[in-house]
Structures are given as C-alpha cells and as structure tokens.
Structure 1
Amino acid sequence: MVINVNGLSAKELKSLIAQAEKQQAKVMTRPKAAAMRAKINKYVKDHGYTIEELYGDLSSPASGRTKKPSGRKPARSAGSKVAPKYRNPANPNETWSGRGRQPRWLAALVEKGKSASDFLIK
C-alpha cells in the first residue's frame, strides 16, 4: 500500500501518524488468529455445537448449497452496472444499456419502422 504524503500539511501528517500508531497498537496487542480460532472452537464445543452447525459448511458457497459446474464460463462483467443508452419515450423509467436482448418496448418500436438510434439518451 502506498500513501502519498507529499501534499499533506503538518497537521494532516500528525493526524495520519496518530491513526497509524493507534492501528499498530491494536494489531500488535490482539491475539494471533490461530489462538483466537482455538478459543472460538473451544467455546463452540463447550456449548455442544460445531462450527458447521452454526455457520454451515465453510468450504461450500455462501448459499450453503454446492453448485454443479454448468460447463459455461461466467460472463466477464457479471453483475456490473452499465449506464443506460436508450430511453422509452412513452415511459422514461424504462431504459436499456444496449447490452443483451433488446427490450420489448424498443423491439416493438423498431418493428414499426423507427430506428433504435431515435431513442438514444443524449
């Protein structure tokens, strides 16, 4: 991690140093992860539970079910939002990014002889 300190004032540098020292003290005094894991496992076991009972199988996806491979690669931009490019003049809330299948409202207008470019958002 790189922090550019060249443009900071003396007051900002002092504040950054104080924050860093506070974080360093916290990290240095906390128990090691393995020791914390052992404490948690002991606590859970002492109360008659297992980690799997409380949190599910941690090696499987978060949903708790294992997914079967579909043989397809996931889309490169799966879940990413794209700004809309087209807007329905009849309902301004209906938009389309230009990706994927054309929405019904646009397909109907194109079928009536309009051009998709007529509905571009300016």
Structure 2
Amino acid sequence: MAKSLQGLLKQIESLQKQADALREREKSEVIARIREAITHYGITSDELFGAGGERVTRKRAAATAGSKTRKAAAKKPASVAKYTDGAGRTWSGVGKRPNWFKDALAAGKQAEDLLVSR
C-alpha cells in the first residue's frame, strides 16, 4: 500500500520532534557530567578554555581546523581578564558587559569588587 506524501511529511515531522527531544535530553546529561567533572577536579576556566577565558565556538573551530586555503590573519593578542565572578567566568572590560557582570552590579556589588586580583 502506497503512502501519501502528506502522510510521509507528518511522519518526518514527528520523527524530527522525537530526535530534537532526545538530543536535548542527552545534551542535559552531558552538561551534568561535565559540571560534575569540573567540580571534582577543580578545573578552572583558564585550564578549560585557555588563558583569558577564550572560548572556541563550533563555527570558529570549523573555520580554523585544517583551513590551509585561508590566509593567515594577523592575530590579536588574547585579552587579559580584568573582572571575574569567582566561579570561573571572566571579562576583559572591553565590549558588551556579560550578564553575570550586570547581575552582580544589580545585586549591589561594585565593579571594583569583581576585579581580578593579581
């Protein structure tokens, strides 16, 4: 018995929703395991992301991984962390203020309270 196009499209949509839900559940479990390992081993953001809290995004990682055809751009030196929340999040003081910084200020802290001690 031949299935109709409409029936197949509904089935695809249903399967996609199931796949998305499964991916989110797995993602939550992975994040929980990562957080547990970070806590257990006392890993800092510098150890995890490199000095200055630089984070590698998927897009940037894909763009730089084996990209021999791209011209080597002049690299800026990594910015140095100026502010920290004590939980591993840092900000150089340049650019848009991160939410954790704004939240701390709203909670009554001063910017000087969040300075990285050197």
Whether TM-score is above 0.5 comes out as no
The structure that is helix-richer by fraction is 2
Higher relative contact order (CA 8 A, sep 6+): 2
Question: Structure 1-normalised TM-score?
Answer: 0.33
Question: Structure 2-normalised TM-score?
Answer: 0.34
